[in-house]
Amino acid sequence: MGKLRTAIRQATAAGRHAEARALRARLREAERQWDTGVEQPSAQPPLVPVREQVHRALTLLGAPTAAKMIVAVDESFFGGQMANTQLTSLRRDEEKSYRSAPGARPYYLCAALTSELLSPARGLLALSTWELPQRIIGPLSPRTDFLTSAIRLAEHLMRLESASTGAFRLLGQLAQNIPGGGDGFGPADPAKVIAAAGAELAVHQERDQMDRREAAARAADRLKPVERLFGTGLKSVRSA
Amino acid sequence: MNRLDGIRGGTPGQDHNARSIAALAANPACDRRAILDAAAIDKPLLMKRLRFDDRWGQSPFAIQRNQQFTDLVKANGAAHLLRLLRELLDLPIEEAGYVNLEDVGGHEGHLARHGHTRRVIKQTAEGLGRATILDRPLLRLDVAGAQVYLEPDVIAFQLGGMFHIVAIKSFAILDDQADTPKVSAAAREAAVYVHALRDVVGRDLVSHDVILVCPKDFTNAPTATTVDVRHQLVTLARQLSRLTRIDALLDRLPEGFSLDLETLSSGEIEAAVAAIPARYAPQCLSACELSHLCRKEAHLNEQVDALGRIVRDDLGGIESVTTALRVATPGEPVADDQAEIAERLRHVARIYDEAVA
Ligand code: SF4
């Protein structure tokens, strides 16, 4: 398909319109075959509780992530179905459960903390089992986390025997915003995404890690265990 | 300021936002709007009291669509925006810091949030910190002596020591051509943010080029262009300084003038509004909540304003349609200062008569 696209571009550029039209038809046909050829995830998986769906998506993503993305990954990689709204009160519920019986559960869906104020970063969900620096959001962290997640999704796709079109499409959408990752049209090439995201990650990683470690040390020093998971701020102090 | 509060009486004031401040600049010549805004009169409530069944402003659908598009552009640490800025302005790869200024823990009062915004923006301006994209800054503006907080849905970003305002709008840019009235509205709004941001970091550090992010063609894919808002900034500054000199306008109002929407009868409200001179123009329809009222008034009074600014300017000085028609009729007596326009109108009337004869 890549070759076809190049041929179309060349034909259009050279003004060979009839040829370009014919090539475009072939491309459409190829895309159709590709779409049906890739196996759809097998029927609905047995009902998994929402918190477990979120847990498996976050485990795959490997970084604090916004609800929308968690839902998208759950759907295209695990065939799950969640609505964004199911995630809105999740963090609060988990905090309540943690406060009533700290550590009773093997994991909690918790907050990521901003590096400056150690307050919960708006809209992000994280796992309590992650190391503290991984749950800190410094200025560069949204970018490094985005790149890390893209790499992890791509690696996962390369491991799978068969993956849904949706999964490739999702990776394609992410890849278009990574320099050299892909043009955003059609399915992504996981190997290319890994290389491109890795290259940009190398630029930011050191500075980002520094910020995260510094803030994590501060958090470990100053925050109570519950605040380390759910952040500080007037609200949590008051309800504590 | 007491005079302005007195005018509003016990009715709660209406908060300003960038849209409402931008609308100020849409019709700078209108006293009515200037006074109502300075006194923070709740204009939608006023229209309701006068039983104008008005659904002014954006439809819920448009607001939702705008929100969805904004969310898309900002998703994943504003990944789309970062790509666009790298393409459009050659933002270096290393400059990828993203900070959401709304994240202030539990201290969510305007004052605290604004303080946080100021601090981070100043640090960034001094080259400290790693923020390049500053999302949702809470800015402040002095409107008629009142501190107005601008509820943010805007991004400031820094490149080479200069800040830029990024405005995200959901109207499409087709073949690199956006619908101009929408672009001008967006430019007016963005100018408000540029103005407010200049208050924080100083004039020279905020660019007059704003970055407009819109969907490309008929897709949902974001694309970006720069828009020069120098002109809008000048108009805005003029309008804001006019508001601070509101006293001169107030002096022309009758003693004890009140527009307390909760205590006055609708008849009294109508009379009070009518007492403030307006300058209706068809452009008001898209910029001012009062437009239906002012249009009706302009039509009733046969004001030439209702025919648009071009007609009004062409008729230089003649205010009503009846006068214009009289002056255009040969043989009617005209005042000295209308002699010139009378001659022109009569000339046009002659041509018209010959054409239709
Ligand atoms: S609608 Fe009326 S009040 Fe509003 S700007 Fe126009 S003339 Fe002024």
pLDDT bucket at A42, cuts 50 / 70 / 90: very low
Phi-psi domain of A15 (left: phi exceeds 0; alpha: psi -120 through 50; beta: other): left
- Ligand 1 contact via B20 beta carbon (within 6 Å): no
- Has residue B153 got a pLDDT over 50? yes
Beta-sheet pairing, B162-168 with B209-215: parallel
B90 contact A CB<8A: no
Q: Kindly state whether residue B72 falls inside one of the protein's structural domains.
A: yes
Residues 173-192 (A) with a CB less than 8 A from some CB of B? 174, 176-177, 179, 184
Task: Specify whether B272 is located in the same domain as B198.
Answer: no
Q: Which of A151, A208, A219, A174 is nearest to B97 (CA)?
A: A208
- Side by side, which strands form the sheet with A109-110? A65-66, A124-127, A109-110
What are A47-81's pLDDT values in tens digits?
678 889 999 999 999 999 999 999 999 999 998 88
What's the CA-to-centroid distance between B32 and ligand 1, angstroms?
6
- Has residue B57 got a pLDDT over 80? no
| C-alpha–C-alpha distance, residues B39 and B30, integer Å | 15
Task: Specify whether B152 is located in the same domain as B226.
Answer: yes
Residue B73 burial (C-beta neighbours within 10 Å; 0-12, 13-18, 19+): buried
Task: Specify whether B111 is located in the same domain as B250.
Answer: no
Atom of ligand 1 nearest to the CA of B33: 3
Rounded to 5°, angle at Cα A197 from A170 and B103: 75
Tell if the CB–CB gap between B76 and A139 is shorter than 8 Å: no
Task: Specify whether B83 is located in the same domain as B164.
Answer: yes
Q: Among B214, B240, B266, where does a domain finish?
A: B240
- Has residue B36 got a pLDDT over 60? yes
Q: Among B280, B301, B331, where does a domain finish?
A: B280
- Say what the pLDDT of residue A144 is: 97
- Name the token pair of A188: 């992504």
What are A175-217's pLDDT values in tens digits?
999 999 987 677 789 999 999 999 999 999 999 999 999 999 9
* Coil, helix or strand at residue B141: strand
Residue with tokens 């090439």: A189
- Find chain B residues with C-beta within 8 A of A138's C-beta: 130
Q: Which residue out of B73, B82, B85, B103 would a mutagenesis test of the A interface target, given it has the greatest number of A Cβ atoms within 10 Å?
A: B103
Task: Specify whether B69 is located in the same domain as B208.
Answer: yes
Task: Specify whether B88 is located in the same domain as B187.
Answer: yes
| C-alpha–C-alpha distance, residues B74 and B136, integer Å | 11
The whole-number average pLDDT for the span A230-235 is 65
Q: Kindly state whether residue B302 falls inside one of the protein's structural domains.
A: no
- For ligand 1, pick from B52, B56, B284, B293 the residue to mutate: most ligand atoms within 8 Å of CB: B284
- Has residue A235 got a pLDDT over 50? no
Q: Kindly state whether residue B285 falls inside one of the protein's structural domains.
A: no
Residue type, A104: A
Quote the ipTM score.
0.74
Task: Specify whether B133 is located in the same domain as B93.
Answer: yes
Helix (H) / strand (E) containing B148: strand B146-150
Least confident of B105-109, B137-141, B275-279: B105-109
- Ligand 1 contact via B132 beta carbon (within 6 Å): no
Task: Specify whether B49 is located in the same domain as B181.
Answer: no
- Has residue A99 got a pLDDT over 50? yes
Tell if the CB–CB gap between B76 and A184 is shorter than 8 Å: no
- Ligand 1 contact via B303 beta carbon (within 6 Å): no
Q: Kindly state whether residue B140 falls inside one of the protein's structural domains.
A: yes
Atom of ligand 1 nearest to the CA of B305: 7
Q: Kindly state whether residue B305 falls inside one of the protein's structural domains.
A: no
Least confident of A228-232, B89-93, B191-195, B336-340: B336-340
> What DSSP line would sit under A149-175, residue for residue?
HHHHHHHHHHH-SS--HHHHHHHHHHH
Q: Measured in whole angstroms, how far is the alpha carbon of residue A230 from the centre of its chain?
A: 21
Beta-sheet pairing, A136-137 with A113-114: parallel
Residue B178 belongs to domain spanning:
60-240
Chain B: nearest CA to A183, how far in angstroms?
12
- What Cα–Cα distance (Å) separates residue B129 from each residue in B100, B196, B202? 14, 22, 19
pLDDT bucket at B52, cuts 50 / 70 / 90: confident
Residues 116-155 (B) with a CB less than 8 A from some CB of A? 120, 129-132
Question: By the 8 A CB rule, do B279 and B30 touch?
Answer: yes
Question: By the 8 A CB rule, do A207 and B81 touch?
Answer: no
- For ligand 1, pick from B35, B273, B291, B293 the residue to mutate: most ligand atoms within 8 Å of CB: B291
Please give the model's pTM, rounded to 2 decimal places: 0.74
| C-alpha–C-alpha distance, residues B84 and B132, integer Å | 14
Question: By the 8 A CB rule, do B96 and B76 touch?
Answer: no
Q: Kindly state whether residue B115 falls inside one of the protein's structural domains.
A: yes
What are A136-167's pLDDT values in tens digits?
999 999 999 999 999 999 999 999 878 788 89
- Ligand 1 contact via B295 beta carbon (within 6 Å): no
| C-alpha–C-alpha distance, residues B6 and B2, integer Å | 6
- Has residue B124 got a pLDDT over 50? yes
Q: Kindly state whether residue B292 falls inside one of the protein's structural domains.
A: no
| C-alpha–C-alpha distance, residues A151 and A202, integer Å | 13
- Name the token pair of A110: 């918790």
Tell if the CB–CB gap between B106 and A235 is shorter than 8 Å: yes
Domain count, chain B: 3
Task: Specify whether B135 is located in the same domain as B193.
Answer: yes
Question: By the 8 A CB rule, do A153 and A61 touch?
Answer: yes
Q: Which of B311, B252, B251, B253 is nearest to B280 (CA)?
A: B311
pLDDT bucket at A240, cuts 50 / 70 / 90: very low
Q: Kindly state whether residue B294 falls inside one of the protein's structural domains.
A: no
Task: Specify whether B109 is located in the same domain as B189.
Answer: yes
Selecting from B71, B76, B94 the residue whose C-beta is nearest the C-beta of A203 gives: B94
- Has residue B232 got a pLDDT over 80? yes
Looking at residue A48, the DSSP 8-state letter turns out to be: -
Selecting from A121, A139, A232 the residue whose C-beta is nearest the C-beta of B129 gives: A139
Looking at residue B336, the DSSP 8-state letter turns out to be: G
Beta-sheet pairing, A124-127 with A109-110: antiparallel
Atom of ligand 1 nearest to the CA of B288: 4
Atom of ligand 1 nearest to the CA of B285: 1
Looking at residue B320, the DSSP 8-state letter turns out to be: B
- Locate the chain B residue with the closest alpha carbon to A206: B94
Residue with tokens 């491991």: A159
A111 contact B CB<8A: no
Mean pLDDT computed over every residue of chain A? 84
Task: Specify whether B231 is located in the same domain as B126.
Answer: yes
Least confident of A17-31, B253-267, B316-330, B333-347: A17-31
| C-alpha–C-alpha distance, residues A145 and A156, integer Å | 16
- Name the token pair of B37: 């805004």
Nearest CA to ligand 1 atom 3: B33
| C-alpha–C-alpha distance, residues B273 and B19, integer Å | 22
Task: Specify whether B148 is located in the same domain as B233.
Answer: yes
Atom of ligand 1 nearest to the CA of B281: 6
- Has residue A238 got a pLDDT over 60? no
Tell if the CB–CB gap between B106 and A146 is shorter than 8 Å: no
* Coil, helix or strand at residue B56: coil
Residues 190-249 (B) with a CB less than 8 A from some CB of A? 221
What's the CA-to-centroid distance between B322 and ligand 1, angstroms?
22
The whole-number average pLDDT for the span B223-233 is 91
B102 contact A CB<8A: yes
